[in-house]
């Protein structure tokens, strides 16, 4: 049985709590630290001084994982950009038949991932694309089996978002569990949290009206974890959502984790409007302080119940990613070789290698170490 931590009594927390009381945010922070935060409490944390929630979050992370920050060497494999969902916040997708649409053949997909494994020693492939109903289940089974064989089982497959799984189940005439069982047999190791966006049906109707409800996302992930398959969780903020809806999103994820306990990590990204349909309504991305605040609040809400919070540098950049470590993040994420989605939205991404990531983490005052898909260290961690 896991030992319960009294987060309010952590070293250095007493002056933080006193300041919180003086500023009128004491109850919100106390409720979060006790694991009993409400939507009202989380909204209050969003309105609290940034330094206050950041200091409290870092104290919690120090108790969870110390000054250590993990990362993984991985490749993002966007196997197709064809998608019938048409999310307004996405600059990557193309409609079926578009002249610049593509689908990568299984043989080429396996060869590409094998090449990254041989050259860079990748440990994970994030296998994700659009929703193309014309791609059969056998495509994924052949690809996953091929990847496992070509890399001698050393590359974990972190694959397919909820919406891909949901549509593939429908087009295959299978239940969610039947589909996921076949994918697992082919080599699927874990499921990424993409497609969560904001778990509010009001928001989803506005930004992705064809996509399924928040309840469906949660139900699919619940079924995946019931089968013993771990997942990750995400949030895309800074578009049409309210603070209450951000709070609702975080608390729904916490409830899901308390039911199944297999959410490995949480990552928050800000919405990037360039080249998207939503740009006319939300022309500018939110500032970097929103990332820091969201990371800090996520740590306070999740505490040690969801251990790993990623730095979110993908949209915010590596420098702000460094700063996010001071606000409660304790994982850097991956090298993201071949990522195509964010560049489509005008976000240039550096090619990050092991030593560069370690130096970047060290430059922020932390100790970086390489991990695997399941957040287990691959080297001694001091």
Residue 189 to residues 148, 168, 180, 379: CA-CA distances in angstroms? Answer: 11, 17, 10, 21
Burial 216-250 (b: 16+ CB within 10 A, else e): bbbbbbebbbeeebbbbbbbbbbbbbeeebbbbbb
Please state whether beta strands 308-309 and 263-270 pair in parallel, antiparallel, or not at all (unpaired): parallel
Q: Is 44 annotated as a binding residue?
A: no
CA distance 207 to 241: 10
Contact assessment for residue 54 and residue 296, using Cβ atoms and an 8 Å cutoff: yes
Contact assessment for residue 181 and residue 143, using Cβ atoms and an 8 Å cutoff: no
Q: Is 90 annotated as a binding residue?
A: yes
Q: Is 83 annotated as a binding residue?
A: yes
Question: CA angle, corner 168, sides to 164 and 173, nearest 5?
Answer: 155
CA distance 110 to 77: 10
127: its two tokens: 């296998």
The residue written with tokens 């089974």 in the block is 141
Q: Is 141 annotated as a binding residue?
A: no
95: its two tokens: 């409609």
Q: Is 161 annotated as a binding residue?
A: yes
Q: Which residues pair with 190 in a beta bridge?
A: 158
Question: DSSP class of residue 310?
Answer: B
279: its two tokens: 């740009």
CA distance 72 to 147: 18
CA distance 240 to 47: 18
Q: Is 245 annotated as a binding residue?
A: no
Please state the residue numbers annotated as binding site: 83, 87, 89-90, 161, 197
Q: Residues within the annotated binding site for (3R)-3-methyl-D-ornithine?
A: 161
Binding residues for [4Fe-4S] cluster: 83, 87, 90
- Residue stretches of the annotated binding site for S-adenosyl-L-methionine: 89, 197
């Amino acid at each position: 049985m896991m030992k319960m931590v009294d987060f309010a009594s952590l070293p250095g927390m007493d002056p933080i709590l006193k300041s919180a009381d003086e500023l009128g945010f004491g109850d919100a922070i106390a409720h979060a630290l006790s694991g009993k935060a409400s939507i009202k409490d989380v909204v209050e944390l969003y309105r609290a001084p940034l330094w206050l929630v950041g200091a409290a979050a870092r104290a919690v992370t120090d108790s969870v994982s110390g000054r250590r920050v993990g990362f993984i060497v991985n490749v993002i494999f966007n196997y197709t950009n064809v998608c019938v969902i048409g999310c307004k916040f996405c600059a990557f997708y193309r409609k079926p038949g578009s002249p610049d649409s593509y689908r990568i053949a299984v043989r080429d997909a396996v060869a590409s991932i094998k090449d990254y494994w041989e050259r860079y020693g990748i440990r994970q492939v994030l296998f994700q694309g659009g929703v193309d109903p014309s791609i059969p289940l056998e495509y994924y089974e052949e690809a996953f089996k091929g990847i496992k064989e070509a890399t001698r089982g050393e590359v974990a497959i972190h694959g397919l978002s909820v919406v891909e799984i949901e549509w593939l189940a429908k087009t295959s005439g299978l239940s969610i569990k039947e589909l996921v069982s076949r994918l697992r047999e082919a080599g699927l190791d874990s499921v990424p949290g993409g497609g969560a966006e904001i778990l509010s049906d009001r928001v989803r109707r506005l930004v992705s009206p064809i996509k399924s409800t928040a309840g469906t996302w949660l139900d699919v992930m619940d079924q995946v974890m019931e089968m013993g398959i771990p997942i990750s969780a995400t949030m895309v903020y800074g578009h049409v959502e309210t603070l209450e809806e951000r709070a609702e999103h975080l608390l729904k994820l916490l409830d899901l984790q308390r039911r199944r306990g297999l959410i490995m990590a949480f990552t928050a990204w800000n919405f990037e409007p360039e080249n998207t349909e939503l740009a006319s309504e939300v022309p500018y991305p939110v500032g970097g302080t929103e990332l820091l605040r969201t990371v800090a609040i996520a740590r306070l809400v999740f505490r040690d119940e969801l251990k790993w919070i990623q730095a979110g540098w993908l949209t915010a950049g590596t420098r702000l990613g460094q700063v996010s470590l001071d606000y409660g993040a304790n994982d850097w994420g991956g090298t993201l070789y071949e990522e195509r989605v964010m560049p489509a939205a005008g976000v240039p991404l550096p090619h990050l290698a092991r030593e560069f990531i370690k130096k970047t983490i060290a430059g922020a005052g932390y100790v970086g170490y390489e991990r695997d898909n399941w957040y287990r260290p691959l080297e001694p961690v001091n």
